[in-house]
Amino acid sequence: MSTIKPQTAILLLYCPDKAGIVSAVTGFISVNKGNILYLDQHVDSVDKILFMRIEWDLTEFIIPKEKINEYFQTLYAQKYGMYFRLYFNDCKPRMALFVSGMSHCLFDILARYTANEWFVEIPLIISNHSSLQEVAKRFGIAFHVFPITPENKIEQETRQLALMHELRINFIVLARYMQIVSENFISHYPHRIINIHHSFLPAFVGAKPYHAAYERGVKLIGATSHYVTSDLDAGPIIEQDITRISHKDSVNDLIHKGQDLEKIVLSRAIEKHIERKILTYKNKTIIFG
C-alpha cells in the first residue's frame, strides 16, 4: 500500500549477539539526526545470533546517502562481525517473472502490478513456451520465449541471464515455472529467486504434489513460497498457507482449490521481498513484521 513517505534507509543485519548492539546501532542513527520509524530485532537464543531490521527517516540525516554503507561498515559491521544489507525506500526493485502454462499466479501478480499495489518494476516475462504470451501482451510487458530441452538448457539459461543482466533485474519470481533451474543459474541470484511450490513443504516435494496429497488422504492442502536453492524444494521458506479439503474432492478439485492458495502465498512472499523485510540465515527466513 503506497502512502506518501519520506526518504528512508532500511538496514537488515545479523551478527553474534552481544550486549550493547541495539544501543550502538540506534545511537548511530539518533546522533546523526535520523528518526527511527521502525525497529524490530530478534535474538536466536540457540545460536546466539541477533537479527535486526531498522528503518529511519533520512530527511535530516547528516551522513550523505551514498556514504552510509561505508560508514556503517567501518564503524559497526567490522566491530560486531555483522552481515548487513542497506536499502533505500526510493530504489524500486526490478523483478523478472518466469512462467509456463498456468496463468493464475501470473494474473494475480500483474493485477497487483497494474493497480500499483507494489513498489516494483517488471521489465520482462520469460517462459519456456508461448501459451501465456497473450496475457503478457494485454498488460504490455515484454514476453520472451526460451524453449528448454535437456540439450539446450545451459545455453538458454545463459541467454536468460544475459537478458536479465542487461535489464538490471534484482530478483526473479518463478510463477509456476515448470522447469528446474540449474545450480549455476541460481548462483547468479542467491536467495533472490522466489518459487511457489504447490504443497505444504516439506510434505510432497517434487512433481505432482496434489496427486500425492490425494493418494495420502490429507485433510488440508497447502502451498509454500521459498527461495530457490540447489536442493529441490528445500530452500528457505518464506510463506505457507493451507485450505481444508474433504474426501469429496478429486485431484482436479485439489488442483483447483490449490490455485487460490498458490497465488496468494506467492504474492505475499513477493511483497515481503519487495519491502525488504526478509533476512535468510541457515536455510531459514526471518520475516520482519
Site residues for its own copies, window 7-36 (CB under 8 A)?
19-20, 22-24, 26-27, 29-31, 33-36
Within 13 A of 227's CA, how many CA atoms are on the CB side? 22
For residues 29 and 36, is the Cβ–Cβ distance under 8 A? yes
Could you say whether residue 252 binds its own copies (CB under 8 A)?
A: yes
Could you say whether residue 187 binds its own copies (CB under 8 A)?
A: no
Please report how close the Cβ of residue 136 comes to its own copies at its closest, in angstroms. Answer: 11
Q: Closer to its own copies at the Cβ: 67 or 248?
A: 248
Please report how close the Cβ of residue 88 comes to its own copies at its closest, in angstroms. Answer: 19
For the chain, the C-alpha Rg in angstroms (whole number) is: 21
Please report how close the Cβ of residue 108 comes to its own copies at its closest, in angstroms. Answer: 7
x/- string (CB under 8 A) for its own copies, residues 211-250? -----xxxxx-x-------------xxxxxxx-x-xxx-x
251-274 vs 104-114: helix crossing angle, rounded to 10: 30
Could you say whether residue 4 binds its own copies (CB under 8 A)?
A: no
Residues 46-75 that bind its own copies (CB under 8 A): 46, 51
Q: Closer to its own copies at the Cβ: 169 or 286?
A: 286
Piece of the chain touching its own copies by CB under 8 A; list 64-72, 85-93, 152-160, 251-259: 251-259
CA 132 to chain centre: 23
Q: Vertex 88, ends 263 and 282: CA angle to 5°?
A: 60
Q: Closer to its own copies at the Cβ: 121 or 260?
A: 260
The CA distance from 32 to 28, in Å, is 6
Could you say whether residue 256 binds its own copies (CB under 8 A)?
A: yes
- Catalytic residue, candidates 44, 233, 253, 260: 233
- Please give the backbone phi and psi of residue 147, each rounded to the nearest 5 degrees, phi first: -60, 140
Q: Which of 1, 62, 150, 187 binds its own copies (CB under 8 A)?
A: 1
Residues 146-185 that bind its own copies (CB under 8 A): none
Q: Closer to its own copies at the Cβ: 168 or 244?
A: 244
Please report how close the Cβ of residue 223 comes to its own copies at its closest, in angstroms. Answer: 11
The CA distance from 94 to 130, in Å, is 23
Would you put residue 36 in left (φ > 0), alpha (ψ -120 to 50) or beta? beta
Please report how close the Cβ of residue 194 comes to its own copies at its closest, in angstroms. Answer: 14
| Maximal C-alpha separation, the chain | 64
Residues 87-146 that bind its own copies (CB under 8 A): 103-104, 107-108, 110-112, 114-115, 117, 135, 138-139
Residues 191-210 that bind its own copies (CB under 8 A): 200-204
Could you say whether residue 286 binds its own copies (CB under 8 A)?
A: yes
Which of helix, strand or coil describes residue 107? helix
- In which element (H, E) is residue 213 found? helix 209-216
Answer yes or no: 233 catalytic.
yes
The burial of 62, by beta-carbon neighbours within 10 Å (0-12 exposed, 13-18 middle, 19 or more buried), is given as exposed
The CA distance from 261 to 198, in Å, is 8
- In which element (H, E) is residue 42 found? strand 35-44
Residues marked active site are found at 233
